[in-house]
Amino acid sequence: MKYYNEERIKEKLGYLSPVEYRKKNAA
């Protein structure tokens, strides 16, 4: 699921690194 979710995030935000992705989820 994580991989799929990251791909969706990349599409919406125009790509985010895994670190930025985690920061947004942790926020």
The count of C-alpha atoms lying within 13 angstroms of the C-alpha of 12, restricted to the half-sphere facing its C-beta, is 7
Cα 24 to chain centroid distance, Å, stands at 8
Question: Could you give the count of Cα atoms lying within 13 Å of 6 in the half-sphere of its Cβ?
Answer: 11
pLDDT of residue 22: 78
Q: What does the pLDDT read at residue 25?
A: 76
pLDDT in tens, 1-27: 677 777 777 777 766 677 777 787 776
pTM of the model: 0.27
How confident is the model at residue 1, as a pLDDT? 64
Whether the CB-CB separation of 6 and 21 falls below 8 Å is answered with yes
